[in-house]
Chain A
Amino acid sequence: MRIVLFFFFLLSVLVLTLPSCSKSDSTSISNLEGSSGSITRFAVYENHMYVLNSNEIQTFDLADRENPLLVHAIQTEYGLETIFIYEGKAFLGARTGLYILDLANPAEPVILSEAIRSEVFFGGCDPVVVRDNYAFSTIKIIENICGNWNAESALIIYDVSDSSNPMEVAVRTLSEPNGLGILGDVLLVCDTGTDQLVAFDIGDPTDPVLLPNVTLPIMDPFDLIVDGDRVIVSTKTNFQILDASDLQNITFIKTIAKGE
């Protein structure tokens, strides 16, 4: 009798698990690591979520995933725009420059430094990405809208090996840059002003070299996400998937403009 019961038990376990196995096939994202574009005011790190207002860095505890709880806020100057988290630190792109925050205690971020840009780049709108000891930041100036009237759009690279004292190491003029991302030794920048995905060789981050042959024409590029050897580039009205398996010859795979 006991054996029969056990058999029934086994059978029912099997029946119950079978459909759930096939269901969790490709749809479950619960254990996956996602990645955002470079232009965002939201970021998650160690069960905490950081959300930027223009003059405020807010920390939410996600212990109860269904009810984010505001646990901490830091007031700053106005002009915070983007957040990028890299190796336990948060890098904020702001209209005045670059903030670096320590997330050693994720519930209470601490501002380590604020690199104020020189006046010629002041006021621009800008995201930042980081690799190793360098932060790559674009500054977008649109006449009369974004930035000082005499300011310039640019790519600015900082040495951030000392988080409390970032040093500007290189500047390259751009037209109207938006999001950016890194793939190997290539930095890709969405340059809306010239309708291009501009490529720089950053093998030596202190001396970025424009790669005209890798640079691609794309209308109104806005932001990008690197996904293995693919790059997804968003524009105002579509997104494009690029094959970047050969970094010297990035090619279009396809354009997706609508969900129909």
Chain B
Amino acid sequence: MQQSLHATLTNPQMQRARPFPSLLVVIVILRFCILIALLSLVGCEKTAPGFSGQGKKPVYLPLSELDDITNQAPQAIINSGPIYLIGDYFFMIEDKRGLHVFDVSDDQQEEALTFIQVPAITDFTIDGNYLYADSWMDIVTIEISDISNIQFISRQLNVIDPILYPALYNGWFECVDLSRGAIVGWEETELVAALCETVN
């Protein structure tokens, strides 16, 4: 059952057509049109539209890899996110990569139990033996009764609006191309004619 589910879920033909509203992002093609119009009025040379220079670009993960939800060896915390405590277990998001799980029952001796890889995760909650997390545009259900042998159960498609711009950043970036996969990070780059900018 899970196999067939997996197959349908990773079908690249899958429709992911939710609109992506975002408060902060303005695509400023219009601004450049006006600029060019002004420049040509005063007889200056025409420049290519967009911004060229230092900025950010998305790091993509193919959608076919979103279902790689597995236990991994414990890892260093690099960029933490939301946290959750249940019983002796402390969960901490590693942004867009997965969940660190620690046993915090003994104050003198901590124990890193496992790292649950969940591609494109940013937030989650737990109810009983089930962990629910976002994963790109979807919500995934993971059975965690045995924390070192978790089971990926299901994926509800197209219920999350992921952030399509670099968070806590003010500047230019390469616009997101949804056909290239899920965003799992942003990296510094030399932009060429970038058309997207975060504005406050």
Contacts and interface: CB of A to CB of B under 8 A. Distances in A.
Interface in B58-94: 73-80, 82-90, 92
Contacts of B76: 237, 257-260
A149 interface: yes
Of B22, B127, B143, which is in contact with the most chain A CB atoms at under 10 Å from its CB? B127
A34 to B, nearest CB: 3
A237 B81 CA distance: 10
A234 B132 contact: no
A51 B90 contact: no
Given A40-B125, A149-B200, A259 B132 contact: no
Given A145-B169, A223-B82, A225-B85, A256 B125 contact: no
Contact of B129 (A29, A39, A241, A258): A29
B145 A30 contact: yes
A36 B83 contact: yes
A233 B83 CA distance: 9
Interface string B95-139: 000001010110110101101000000011111111011100001
Nearest to B79: A236
B77 A145 contact: no
B156 A67 contact: yes
Given A53-B160, A79-B23, A67 B154 contact: yes
Contact of B161 (A32, A56, A65): A56
Nearest to A24: B145
Contacts of B74: 258-260
B159 interface: yes
B87 to A, nearest CB: 5
A258 B141 contact: no
Contact of B200 (A39, A55, A144): A144
B147 to A, nearest CB: 7
B107 to A, nearest CB: 5
A133 B133 CA distance: 31
A91 to B, nearest CB: 16
Nearest to B151: A66
B125 A42 contact: yes
Interface string A127-145: 0000000000000001011
B153 interface: yes
A22 B160 CA distance: 40
Nearest to A33: B86
Contacts of B105: 26
Contact of A49 (B23, B92, B125, B144): B125
A254 B109 CA distance: 9
A205 B106 CA distance: 34
B77 A42 contact: no
A31 interface: yes
A29 B85 contact: no
A227 interface: yes
Interface in A47-79: 49, 51, 53-56, 58, 60, 62, 65-70, 78-79
A30 B129 contact: yes
A146 interface: yes
25 contacts: A27-B147, A33-B86, A37-B84, A39-B82, A44-B125, A51-B139, A65-B130, A65-B141, A67-B156, A69-B156, A70-B156, A144-B170, A145-B168, A148-B200, A225-B83, A225-B85, A227-B85, A227-B104, A238-B77, A239-B77, A239-B83, A256-B110, A259-B102, A259-B113, A260-B74
Please list the 7 inter-chain residue pairs (A to B) with the smallest Cβ-Cβ separation, ordered nearest first. Answer: A259-B74, A259-B112, A34-B86, A42-B125, A258-B76, A37-B83, A53-B161
